[in-house]
Chain A
Amino acid sequence: MAQLTCSDLTLGYEGQKILSHLSFSVNKGDYLCILGENGSGKTTLMKTILGLRKPMSGTISVGDGLSRTEIGYLPQQTSIQRDFPASVREIVISGFQSRLGFRPFYNKTEKKMAEQNMELMGISHLKKRCYRELSGGQQQRVLLARALCATQKMLLLDEPVAGLDPKVTEEMYELIARLNRERGITVMMISHDIEAAMQYATHILHIGKEIFFGTRTKYLQYVAEKRKEGKHGII
Chain B
Amino acid sequence: MELFETLAYYFQFPAVRYALIVGVLVALCSSLLGVTLVLKRFSFIGDGLSHVAFGAMAVATLTGGILTQFKPVLDSTNNMIIIMPITIVAAVLLLRTGKNAKVKGDAAIAMISVGALALGYLLMNLSVFPKSSNISGDVCSTLFGSLSILTLTQTEVNICIAVSVVVIAVFILFYNKIFSVTFDEDFARATDSKAGAYNLLIAIIIAVIIVISMNLVGSLLISALIIFPALSAMRVLKSFKAVTICSACLSVFCATLGILVSILFSTPVGSTIVAVDIAAFGVFCLIGAVKGGSKA
Return chain B residues, CB-CB under 8 Å to A47.
Answer: 186
Distance in angstroms between the alpha carbons of A91 and B241 in the assembled complex: 11
The number of residue pairs between A and B whose CB atoms lie closer than 8 Å in the complex comes to: 100
Residue of A nearest to B295 (CB): A83
Asked if A198 CB lies within 8 Å of chain B CBs, one says no
The range of chain B's interface size is 20 to 34
Of A75, A79, A130, the contact of B238 (CB 8 Å cutoff)? A130
Bound complex: CA of A87 vs CA of B238, how far in Å?
7
Q: Confirm or deny: A69 has a beta carbon within 8 angstroms of a beta carbon on chain B.
A: yes
* Residue A157 is within 8 A (CB to CB) of chain B in the complex: no
Known: A81-B39, A86-B240. Is A72-B191 also a contact (CB below 8 A)?
Answer: yes
A98 contacts B240, C-beta separation under 8 Å: no
Task: Compute how far the CA of A68 lies from the CA of B186 in the bound complex, rounded to whole angstroms.
Answer: 14
- Binary flags per residue of A67-91, CB closer than 8 Å to B gives 1, else 0: 0111111010001110111110011
A97 touches B188 (CB 8 A): yes
Write out the residue numbers on chain A whose beta carbons fall within 8 Å of the beta carbon of B195: 97
Q: Does B172 contact A (CB under 8 A)?
A: yes
- Could you tell me which residues of chain B, from 275 to 296, have a CB within 8 Å of some CB in chain A? 293, 295
Known A-B contacts A85-B237, A86-B239, A98-B192; A73 and B187 likewise in contact (beta carbons under 8 Å): yes
A-B contact pairs, 29 of them (CB 8 A): A50-B186, A51-B193, A70-B191, A73-B186, A73-B190, A80-B183, A81-B39, A83-B295, A84-B39, A84-B182, A84-B183, A84-B240, A85-B35, A85-B240, A94-B176, A94-B179, A97-B176, A97-B180, A97-B191, A98-B193, A100-B177, A104-B172, A104-B174, A128-B239, A129-B238, A130-B238, A130-B239, A133-B238, A146-B187
A106 at the A/B interface (Cβ < 8 Å)?
A: yes
Known A-B contacts A69-B190, A94-B179; A79 and B234 likewise in contact (beta carbons under 8 Å): no
Tell me if B239 and A75 are in contact (CB < 8 A).
no
Which residues in chain B, 193-233, are within 8 Å of chain A measured between CB atoms? 193, 195
CB-CB under 8 A from B179, the residues of chain A are 86, 90, 94
A50–chain B nearest beta-carbon distance, Å? 4
Set of chain A residues within 8 Å of B242, measured between Cβ atoms: 85
| Known contacts A87-B238, A87-B239, A98-B193; 5 further A-B pairs (Cβ under 8 A) | A71-B191, A80-B184, A85-B240, A94-B180, A151-B191
Which residue of chain B is the closest to A150 with respect to CB atoms? B191
Contact B183 A91 (CB under 8 A): yes
